[in-house]
Structures are given as C-alpha cells and as structure tokens.
Structure 1
Amino acid sequence: MSKYDAIIVGSGSNGISAAIRLQQKGLKTAIFEQASSPGGATRTQELTLPGFKHDVGSSILPLGLASPFLRNLPLKDHGLEWVYPEIAYSHPFIDGTAYACFKDLYQTAAQLGEDEKNYLKIFKPLMEDWEKLDPDLLAPLGIPQHPVPYLKFGLKALPSAHWLANRYFEDERSKMFFYGSAAHSTIPLTNLASASFGLVLTATAHRYNWPFPKGGAGNFTGAMLNYYRSLGGELHLNHQVNDLRDLPNALAYLFDLTPRQLLKINGLNFNSLYRKRMENYKYGAGVFKMDWALSEPVPFTSEKCRRSGTVHIGFSQAELERSEDLVHKGSVSDRPYVLMAQHSPFDATRAPEGKHTAWAYIHVPNGDPRDHTTILEDQIERAAPGFKDTILARSTKTTHQLEEFDPNLVGGDINGGLQDITQFFTRPIIKLSPYSTPDPRIYICSSSTPPGGGVHGMSGFHAAEKVLKDHFKDLV
C-alpha cells in the first residue's frame, strides 16, 4: 500500500500550490525538496551585510494577488503581510522626468499628454473586462469562459510590443513606458506575444498595485507552507531525487522541475518520442542580478521613481529594443534594459535603521558566465546620479550562480523556459494535457507548463486538478 496518495518534488510556489490543492481535497501528500531551505527561487537571504534582507530570486509578487488560486488562500492567517508601494512602477527619462504607473488608471493616463486617450483606449476595456478575463489568463489553452472579451484581449496581446506601442502611441516616452513592463517577457520587443506581458502586468498594477511580502519574499513561501502544514501536509528538506526509488510509494508524483532536470531522473517510464520532444524544449535568456546594501535610498532624480517599488530603466525606444534583441543574438548591450526594485523605503524590516536595500538585473544570453556589474551600475547612475556612492556592499549573481541557487533557473532563465509564441501556450510540448506524461504516475507542475513564469501557483494548481481527475475522480 502507498504511504502517500501524492508526492510533490520541489518546493517552489507551484509545487507548494499543487500540494495544498491535493491536501485540501483530503489526500495524504508530502513535499520533497533537495535544498536545505524551501521556496525554490522565492527565498530571502542576507546576501551583503548582517541585517540586510535580500530576495535572491522572485521579489515583487503582483501575480500572488492576480492568481485565482493563491489570492483565495488564508495566507494572512499564516503570517503573510503585503506591502504596497505608493507607485507600482515608474520609468525615468534622460531629462530627469518619469512616468509612473499608479493604481489609478486615469491618474496614470493623465501624465501621457497627447497619448492620454490612447492609453485609456488600451487599458480601460481591459480593466472593465478583467473579471471575465481573469479565469483564463493564468490557465492552459482552451475555450475561454467569455470568448468575446478574450478575443478582444488577444487582438492586442498576440502582436509584438513594438507593434502595439507604435500603433497606439505618438510620443516616444509613452512607448518606452509600455516597453518597461513588456520587457518582463525576456524576449525581443519585436517578437509576437511580447505585448501580452505589458498588457497583463500593467493591468495587474492598476488592479492590485505591485505588492511584495513584508520582511522578504521568503515570508510568502513561509505562509504557504504554514497553511499546507495546517492541512496535515509534510515537508522534507535535503532530499535529492535522482531515481523514483528515492521517494516513498505514491499513486501520483508531481515534479516542480523543468524538462532538463526531469529527464535526468531514473525510473520514469517515458517513451523515446516523448524524451526527444522534451529534450528539444527551449530555455530563454538568463539574467545577471545584483543586490546592494545602501547607506541611503536610491537617489533617483525623479521623485516618482523614489516613490516606486519597481523602476524600469532604458533611455530610448531604440535603446530598449536593441538591448533585448542583442541578448537573443548572444550579446549584451552597453546600455541595457534594467529592471530594478527597492523595498526598504516602504518596508523598514528589510534593512537596519536608516539603511536601505535594492536589487536589479539585466537580461543576458542563457548561460552567460560574465559579470556585468559595471554596465548595470552605470545605467542606474544615469537615472540616479550618486547611486554608486551609496553602496555599502554588493552581491552579484551570474547565470551559473543563479542555477546553483535554484536548479530550475537553467542558464539563469527565471521563467522556466522560453516564453515566445512557440512555447507560450504549448509548454513543455504540444499536448492536450501539458501536465501529464506517458507515465500515468508522473506529472509536471513547474513553470515549464502553462501559464509559465511568475509566482502565481497556477501551474501547480492545474497539475493537481489533472491528478485529481485521473486518480481521484470521486474527489473532483
């Protein structure tokens, strides 16, 4: 007899979400994690100096509220406290001004001058239809519950960010503002579907702001695990899985792993065709990330940037496009797109009194081993003169170091695989059920399945629903 109904391998947000969903249904589950601390990429550590708390991977978590599954969990009762920055994100310009994405749609649009009406033309319908779109935006490909609003969204989402920005905006600053959120896609801004990231992430800013957990993203993981344990779930750390026999017996096994790692595990009954297709899975660009302990807040020239939790840096439309294009040609721009976050102005628990923290990353070719400290800090200095003088200590993470921290970050890819049009809906392979495998016991619940990267837990939730349907029909 099986000791467990289901076993989950990996304790990232998707693995924990899968475990919670199955435990909620009354199943006996356990999570097995290879690291000494849980959370996958959602962990907080003192990387620089004592008392300075840094989110090593995932950090700003708007999808934690946008997720239909996570937002309904009683995480507040288990230790989670959200911090909402005054401004979700901003984009500074070379003249020292900036545009800010406020929660208020109209306040945001009012900054854009001649493009105010066009901004509202894009985002007002999206916000009005959000309740209808919400169930399908973070779900596998299928027939949407509300086809008409979804089709209207798709007509804007499937083109490139370049197309949408030039179709709707006249002023270059408006285009750069949209590019800032669209570049989270980690694909060239001229690629199909890159617009979808700008649309969805900006919509979440207007809907939820871009919040983060008080005290560190690791507290989000902690709250999830506290709730999971309250349901009777088990967590086992320092448990490396190289063979299915390394795990107790169970009816189903859910792996919060990317295809490359899954294929290394012995004892899985995969046929040669499935293995070959999984071996062809494509990983996306990596990131080079830096964390800083600071003597004072980041001295942005723009007051809007100082009031923002996240800041996107890139000083022309051409500069932003070139930065993301070069990455996919194996190079790095000397003026890269920078994604920067600052927690301590809004969360005093992140640093000793009077001190601050910040982090930033740039996109780099997958597996790039180089240290890009100089170009990253130089780009920030253009938006915040004197920034380098505030640095007390720094921590750098190359793509190799990120993968050592979390093996799911293959080559520094933080999205679990390339998120272009070829793998946007059909990850890890084209298949009616992306979560199941040829082995009826084995399921994938990582960000290498729909809906892809981000701390939303929906890959884990949908994988758990598939397990329930296949093995526990009486509980569905």
Structure 2
Amino acid sequence: MTTAVVVGSGPNGLAAALTLAAEGVSVRVVEAADVLGGGVRSGELTLPGLVHDECSGMHPLGPGSAFAQRFDLAGAGLKWRWAPTEFSHPLDGGRGAVAVRSVTGTAAGLGAGGPGWKAVFGPLTERFGTISQEFLQPVLHLPRHPFHLARLGLYGGLPATLLARRFGSPEARALWIGTAAHAFRPLGTPFSSAIGVALTTAAHAYGWPVAEGGSVGVRDAIVRRATEYGVRFETGRRVTSLEELEAPDLVMLDTSPSAAARIAGNRLPARVRRAYTGYRHGPGAFKVDYAVEGGVPWAHEGSRSAGTVHLGGGVAEIAAAEKEVAAGRMPERPFVLVGQQYLADPTRSAGDVHPLYAYAHVPAGYTGDATGAVTAQIERYAPGFRDRIRATYVRTTTELSRHNENYVAGDIVTGANDPLQLLFRPRVALDPYATGIPGVYLCSAATPPGAGAHGMCGYNAARRALARL
C-alpha cells in the first residue's frame, strides 16, 4: 500500500490527508502543536462560554470550494451560518455602506456609487461558479472558461485605488477599499485589486459565512471524514528532517517555504532552495479579542448587522495606512478588521456578552502594543464601545507566529501578495506544489490559491501527488 506523511494539520494539511486517503493511501498526519487545526482553531479566549476564532474567522470561499463539495463536509457536521449582512464599512459621522448577498440590493444602497458597483460585480457574480474554479488552482493551467477568467483579471490587475474611481460615492469607494485591503499590500500598486475583487464577488455569490461553534468546526468535519478513511493523527511532535519520517512514498508539507527548506535539508535542489529561502512574507497582524456586553454600539446602523466590519476611513486614509505598514512603519490609525461572528452564530455568546474578533494590519514583526490603536478605531465609529468591554485577549505578531509557525512575523496570509507571488507562489514552476524531491510536496497557503480555510492548497497538492504516482 502507498504510504504518506502529512507534516502540519492546518486546513490544507488536513485536506491533503483526506484527499490522499480517499484514494487508498495510508496516511499519517504529524502536528507540532498539541491540538490539530492550525488556522482553524477556536477557544474561550476571554471569558467562559465565549467562543473566539483563533485565526481564520470568516470563510468566503469555504462552501463553494471543490474540496468541500467533493467530501461533503456539510454531511460531516460542518454547518455554515450567515450574518444578516455580509460586510460593512462605517465612516465618520454615522455614514457608511453595507454589502449584502444581492449585487442589486447592495448597489441600491450606494447612491451614486450603485451603477458602477453593479457594472463591475454583476457580471462577475453571475459567472462566479466557473470563475472560482479557475482561480482556485495554479495560474499556469489551461482554463476551461478563459473569457470568464479574463474578466476577473481585467479588474483584478488594477490598482485598488484606481478601481475605486469606478464607484461614484464616498460610501461605495470605502466599501470597496476595505475589501481590497485584505491583500495586506499598498493599494496603489498593480494587482492590489485581485483579492478584493474575488472576495467581494464571493460575498455576492456565496456570502461570507462562519462555521457554527467556531472555525474549529471546519477542522472537526475534515478530521471526521479523514478518520473514516483511516487517517492517523499524531500531535506534539515537531518534524525537523525528512529522515525522521521512515521513508513514506509521499510527504506533504503544510509549512512555510523556509520551514520546508529546513526539513528537506540537502535533498532540496539548489534552485528550489533559493526560491524557498527567498520567499517574501507580508506585513503582520495584531489580534485583539474582546468580550463585549451588549454588542458594539456602531453609529452606522448598517454595521450592527454585518458579519465583518472594515475600519480605517475612506480610500485615501486606508491607502496611506497600508503604505506605511508595507514600509515597516506603524500608522497612528491602522486598518482594522472586526468580526461579529456571533451575529450569525449566537451559540458563541454567553447571554448578552459577545465575543468580538479584531485585528490590525501592522509591520512585519511589530513589537509594540497596538491594543490601544485597535480599540480606538472601534471607538471612533462606535462611541461608548470602551465602556462595554469586559475582557480582552491579545496576540502580538510574535505570539501569532509562535501559535502557528506558518505565520512568519505575524503574516497570517502566509506570503506577500506582490504581483509575482500572487501569480506564482511559492516559485515560478509548472507544478508549484513539487519541491524537486520525488514524492515530496508543499501544500500550505504559500501555494496556489493562497490563504483561506478552503483547503484548496492541500487538495490541489494531493491531486498532483496522486497523478505522479
């Protein structure tokens, strides 16, 4: 029987394990931490009874991914839940904008920005089923729907600040730029629209759901399916060399490229080693979890029903903050993402005390304390928020990388989204998952299609490995 070892148990490592096991491979997963899950862990971080997501919180591409559909994760107990609205962007003075599942419904609330919003995202949403199949795999492939993919590329290749001009109101432009900021890169540069276009279209096509009971539900569903196929799990064991793995036929590395280079050692071809050790990581995240009594008193009414809230002002202010972060400087008012998962999943709350998820974009390896800056940005748009805080739990960039070694210097998206790495991560190659060592593959979020709890990096890598057998 063919044997495989998967190093790392994030959603991609688990997806690789399940995909291999379903084809009759004997699979063992080895995890350095004491628990499985990587970026899809949840816990009571602040007060008893409040469930917080420890990293990945919202899952725009989760329900529609080929991996989730292939293995019927819903049938394995994964329950998706949606907030009343998908995401919002408040502005000063109680103004703001909200995105709902309907493109038309969103456009109707954007005033003069509505026609431009509908023109950009209407056709993409109609075709998103085929478009997502294309971009959730390596760029170098023969597309089945080239014209649909080209439309995505037409907008995705633009600087986000340039695309913002298509939306004719400050509220619409802010709603767009907040989503574009998920790229963790300067928003005036080419291809800085790519991730925002994909995520906004996903919001209209599938929504931005959360997993009932916490993102740990994603882990539990995959583990349940994998166990059905005989996958074995070992936690609390750090792999430092391929020689420790007893020569399996396949090795899947759910690690950062630099960690893969250390584990592979001298067996790694020189050209691949150069690419892996030269792989570029992006800015960091500084995460604050709050226990909030009565919820957040947003001045912008629409933000009170949004699963995700983007904070930081309008286009110019957010673009300036992201530019500062990329240059290694901490802005006074950073971009902040707030997750109100409890609106979709009330089981995470304890009575009228709710878990609130927030992180700020900060320079890579930032050693300061950004707690005050995060709280101040929320207070700016929700006066009285500070008075409702009952507890906090903070993870700095260092603590994030200690909690999950793939998050180098706090880089929660596992790699800089500059044009080259956005298109060709972790290196320019026909098979981006292959390491150059027969039977050894990289399957982390440093491979296509990148960050997210969709499992597609592991699924794609495992399929490549199976095709090579």
Q: 1:8 aligns to what?
A: 6
Q: 1:45 aligns to what?
A: 43
Q: 1:235 aligns to what?
A: 233
Q: 1:307 & 1:322 partners in 2: Cα distance?
A: 28
Which string of whole-angstrom CA distances, capped at 9 and with x for unpartnered residues, describes residues 164-198 of structure 1?
A: 112x1222221111001110011111121111112
Q: 1:149 & 1:162 partners in 2: Cα distance?
A: 23
Residue 423 of structure 2 aligns to which amino acid in structure 1? F
Which string of whole-angstrom CA distances, capped at 9 and with x for unpartnered residues, describes residues 10-58 of structure 1?
A: 1111111111111111211111111111111110011112222111110
Q: 1:147 & 1:87 partners in 2: Cα distance?
A: 32
Q: 1:267 & 1:117 partners in 2: Cα distance?
A: 55
Residue 113 of structure 2 aligns to which amino acid in structure 1? D
The offset of 1:267, in angstroms, is: 5.1
Which string of whole-angstrom CA distances, capped at 9 and with x for unpartnered residues, describes residues 301-348 of structure 1?
A: 122111011000122221111111000111121121111011223322
TM-score, normalised to structure 1, is 0.96
Q: 1:201 aligns with which of 189, 199, 202?
A: 199
Q: 2:368 aligns with which of 363, 367, 370?
A: 370
Q: 1:121 & 1:157 partners in 2: Cα distance?
A: 15
Q: 1:407 aligns to what?
A: 405
Q: 1:462 aligns to what?
A: 460
* Equivalent position SS for 1:253: strand
Q: 1:95 aligns with which of 80, 90, 93?
A: 93
Q: 1:138 aligns to what?
A: 136
The offset of 1:263, in angstroms, is: 1.7
Q: 1:429 & 1:266 partners in 2: Cα distance?
A: 16
Q: 1:152 aligns to what?
A: 151
Q: Is this contact kept in 2: 1:319–1:336, CA < 8 A?
A: no
Q: Using a 3 Å threshold, how does the CA distance of structure 1 residues 65 and 237 change in structure 2: closer, same or farther?
A: same
Residue 340 of structure 1 aligns to which amino acid in structure 2? V
Output aligned runs, 1:383-402, within 5 Å.
383-402=381-400
Q: 1:164 aligns to what?
A: 163
Q: 1:159 & 1:113 partners in 2: Cα distance?
A: 24
Q: 1:416 & 1:14 partners in 2: Cα distance?
A: 12
Q: 1:332 & 1:357 partners in 2: Cα distance?
A: 26
Q: 1:438 aligns to what?
A: 436
Q: Is this contact kept in 2: 1:340–1:360, CA < 8 A?
A: yes
Number of residue-to-residue matches in the alignment: 468
* Equivalent position SS for 2:249: strand
Q: 1:109 aligns with which of 95, 104, 107?
A: 107
Across the aligned residues of Structure 1 and Structure 2, the Cα RMSD in angstroms comes to 1.3
Output aligned runs, 1:308-319, within 5 Å.
308-319=306-317
Q: 2:251 aligns to what?
A: 253
Which string of whole-angstrom CA distances, capped at 9 and with x for unpartnered residues, describes residues 217-253 of structure 1?
A: 1111111101110121111111110122322331110
The offset of 1:266, in angstroms, is: 5.2
Q: 1:213 & 1:353 partners in 2: Cα distance?
A: 20
Q: Is this contact kept in 2: 1:10–1:255, CA < 8 A?
A: yes
Q: 1:419 aligns to what?
A: 417
Q: 2:45 & 2:292 partners in 1: Cα distance?
A: 13
Q: Is this contact kept in 1: 2:93–2:299, CA < 8 A?
A: no
Q: 2:168 & 2:340 partners in 1: Cα distance?
A: 31
Residue 159 of structure 1 aligns to which amino acid in structure 2? L
For structure 1, the 5+ residue unaligned runs are 472-476
The offset of 1:394, in angstroms, is: 0.3
Q: Is this contact kept in 1: 2:268–2:435, CA < 8 A?
A: yes
Residue 146 of structure 1 aligns to which amino acid in structure 2? H
Q: 1:88 & 1:266 partners in 2: Cα distance?
A: 42
Residue 145 of structure 2 aligns to which amino acid in structure 1? H
Q: 2:71 & 2:297 partners in 1: Cα distance?
A: 38
Q: Is this contact kept in 1: 2:114–2:168, CA < 8 A?
A: no
The offset of 1:426, in angstroms, is: 1.1
* Equivalent position SS for 2:342: coil
